[in-house]
Structure formats: C-alpha cells, structure tokens
Amino acid sequence: MAQHALSLEFPDTLNNCLLRIVDMSTYNQNVPVECPKLQITAPGFTTAAEITDMGTEFAVNLTACDLDLQLTNCESYRNDLPDGVYVIRYSVAPNDVVYVEYNHLRISQALNKINNLLCCLDVPNCEPVGPMKEKLREINLLSTMLKAAKAKVEYCHNPEEGMAIYTYVLAKLDKLSCSCGCGTC
C-alpha cells in the first residue's frame, strides 16, 4: 500500500440536529497524514463547509453551526439539519490527489416519523389482524423503500431517483400518520 485508503461511514441517527461521520480509513504508517479536510455540501447548497480540526480515526457529530447552516445562537440552540443528499469529501495532503467523495442520504426525519407512528399505533402483544396488520405491512414497505432510496443515492450514484423515493416515502408516512390519528393533518 503506497498511500492511504480513505473511507468514511455515516451512521443513521435519530438526532435531527447531528450528522455523524466516522473515519474508517486505513492509513499507511510510512506516509505522513497531513492537512486532513472534510468538505460537506448540504442539500440545496453549492458551497461546502470545511472542517479541518480533526485528526485521523475521528468520529465527529456535526451541527448546523459546524456546516455554516446556522449562524447565530450556536451556544444555546441547535437547528435541525435537513434530510437529503449531502456531498461529503474527505482528503489528506496532497488533497487534490488523496481523497474520497460520497453522496450520503440523511434520513433522520423519516426515521423519526416511522418511530413516532409505531409509538402512536395501538399494536397488540400478539399477531395483529385486519387493519392493524395492513398498517404494519405498509410501515414495513415504507421502511424498505427508505433503504432503497439510500441505496439509489449511496451505491447506485443516482441522487435524483433516491430523493424521489425519499419524498414519496415522506408523503406516505404523513398520510398514514393522519389516517391513524397520529399526526397533524
């Protein structure tokens, strides 16, 4: 191995205020690691926020303030981060040569909607029947479709198609929440 094998992971989190990034890179101990840089472009933005104050093998929890999406009250309040496609690039010197770049679909809001819906439903402690069984099947289908949206963005490199699936899932979750009396309609 002549250079570093950079790799990041983005664990899904239920915290709407944080984006978690974990360095899973394999670093060549014979090559110095200099100028590590994370560049993160949030959904709907064209300019990346830069984070340079981390070492190797890092795990960071980034907020809207860290990503330059929130500019005030950073010490006392955390704005929610939007769900959607984040373009994340990690590099070390020489940064134009040694880098890795990802499209990451953040789905925290959708995961919270699913959990809130499951909490609201009166699920029996035995095999559900009738309408309850159908609602649970629909939630399971929507959860699988959410995984498909992530796959389209992160593995198939088709962010537009992944976002279309994500948007469909959110609309269906909102509709299901309303029909179950679990949301504001």
Give residue-wise pLDDT tens across range 23-80: 999 999 999 899 999 999 999 999 999 999 888 999 999 999 999 999 999 999 999 9
Q: Is the pTM of this model over 0.75?
A: yes
Spatial strand order in the sheet of 98-106: 49-51, 37-41, 84-92, 98-106
Cβ 95 vs Cβ 35: under 8 Å: yes
Categorize the per-residue pLDDT at 147 as very low, low, confident or very high, splitting at 50, 70 and 90: very high
**CA atoms of 107 and 52, how far apart (whole Å):** 25
**CA atoms of 87 and 66, how far apart (whole Å):** 15
pLDDT of the residue at 122: 74
**50, amino acid identity:** E
Give residue-wise pLDDT tens across range 9-34: 999 999 999 999 999 999 999 998 99
Distance from CA of residue 128 to its chain's centroid? Answer: 32
Q: Specify the 3-state DSSP secondary structure of 142.
A: helix
Is the pLDDT reported for residue 1 higher than 70?
no
pLDDT of the residue at 127: 75
Q: What is the mean pLDDT of the chain?
A: 92
**CA atoms of 84 and 101, how far apart (whole Å):** 16
The CATH number given to 8-106 is 2.60.40
Q: Which of 18, 25, 27, 21 is nearest to 9 (CA)?
A: 21
Domain spans in the chain, listed from the N-terminal domain onward: 8-106, 108-179
27 CB-contact burial (10 Å; exposed 0-12 / middle 13-18 / buried 19+): middle
Mean pLDDT, rounded, for 95-119: 94
DSSP code at position 82:
P
For 137-145, the CB contacts below 8 A with 24+ separation are: 138/172, 138/176, 139/114, 139/176, 142/114, 142/169, 142/172, 142/173, 142/176, 143/114, 145/169
Q: For CA atoms 69, 175, 169, 61, give the dihedral sign.
A: positive
Encode burial over 47-58: b for 16+ CB neighbours within 10 A, e otherwise. Answer: ebbebeeeeeeb
